[in-house]
Structure 1
Amino acid sequence: MKFSSKEDIEAPIEQVFALVSDFETLERAALRRGAEVQRTDNMRKPGIGMSWSASFMARGRQRQLEIRMTEYDPPNNMRFHSVAQGLETDMKVEMLALSRGRTRLSVELELKPRSISARLLVQSLKLARTNLNKKFHLRMADYARDLEDRAKRLG
C-alpha cells in the first residue's frame, strides 16, 4: 500500500533540507504527541545508518517501531526503512529546487506486510484508503506550512 504527497514550500532547498533533517526537533515533536523515541546509533552527524527506536499507541495497541536511515543525499533526499510487528515501511523524502526560493517536498510511503496480522492491518487500511489519503495530504500540507513558517523566522 502506497501513499504519496507533494507540497511546494517558499524557501530555498538547502533551508528546507536543513529543517526536514533536524531530527532533534522531530524527536521532540513525537514526544509531545505521546510517543517514546530514542536514538539507537552513536553517529554525531546525520547520515546513512542513523537509527531510532519508537513506541506509541496506534489503533488501540502499543506499537514498537525500529527506524533506520538508508539514504542521505543533502540537499536532495533521504530514505528511511522501518519495521514494526511484521510491517515494513519504506519512506522517501525528496526535495526539488523549483527556483532559488521555492522547493517541492515529495514524500512517498510504502507499507509492506510481512506477517498475517500485518496483512490484516494493511487490508483494513485499504478499506479506508480514501480517508487515509485525505488525512495524509492534509498532514503533509500542515507540515509544509510549518516548514515555510520556520524558514521565514530563520531568515
Structure 2
Amino acid sequence: MVRMKFSTREDVEAPIDQVFAQISDFDALERKGRRWGATLQRTDTMPAPAKGMAWEIDFDYRGKRRSMASELLVYEPPSALTFFSRTGGLECRSEIELMALAPRRTRVAVQIDLSPKGMSARLFLQTLRLVKSNLNVRFKKGIARYARQIEQTARQ
C-alpha cells in the first residue's frame, strides 16, 4: 500500500506543561484555522478537552472546497495528543509527543502518517511522492516556526 510519513522533532525553551497547554488550546487553534479561511464545526458536546473531541472542517485546497472529519484519539496531558482525520479517501494519523528535557526545555516530536483508502487518494499520494523532499522541508520549517511561537508566548 502507498503510504506517506512525515516526522520531525523540535526542542522548545519552555516547560512541558506550558507547551502542552498551547498545543491543546483548541479554541485558539480553531480561531487560527478560521483566519486561514477554513470553516470548523465541533461535532462533540464535551465541555473540556478530552479523548473523543471531534470537528468537521471545510477548507480550500487546489481551487476546490474540501471537507475533513477529525477526532482526538489520545489526550494525555502533558505528554501526548493523537488525531485521526479523514478527507475523501485519504486518512491521516497525527501524533504529537512531548518529553521534558529540563525544567524549561521540552522536546516536541510530530509524526503524520497518510494512508489512501481509494484509487483517487492513492494517485494523489503518488503525485506527492514526486515532491516529498520539498514537502518534508516545508513540514519541518512549519513545526520549527510553531515551536518559536510557543517559546515567545511562554516568555510573556
Q: TM-score range by the shorter chain?
A: over 0.9
Distance in 2 (CA, whole Å) between partners of 1:67 and 1:119 is 20
Question: Quick one: which amino acid aligns to residue 67 of structure 1?
Answer: S
Deviations 1:110-132 (A, max 9, x none): 00000100001111111100100
Match of 1:94 among 77, 94, 97: 97
Q: What TM-score comes out, normalization by structure 1 length?
A: 0.97
Match of 2:42 among 35, 39, 55: 39
Q: What TM-score comes out, normalization by structure 2 length?
A: 0.96
1:127 aligned partner: 130
Aligned length: 153
Distance in 2 (CA, whole Å) between partners of 1:89 and 1:61 is 19
* Structure 1: gaps of 5 or more residues: none
Match of 2:106 among 103, 106, 123: 103
Matches within 5 A, 1:1-155: 1-153=4-156
Question: Quick one: which amino acid aligns to residue 10 of structure 1?
Answer: E
How far is 1:62 from its partner? Answer: 1.3
Question: Quick one: which amino acid aligns to residue 109 of structure 2?
Answer: S
Question: Quick one: which amino acid aligns to residue 153 of structure 2?
Answer: R
Deviant stretches of 4+, over 4 Å: none
Quote the sequence identity (%).
46
How far is 1:139 from its partner? Answer: 0.5
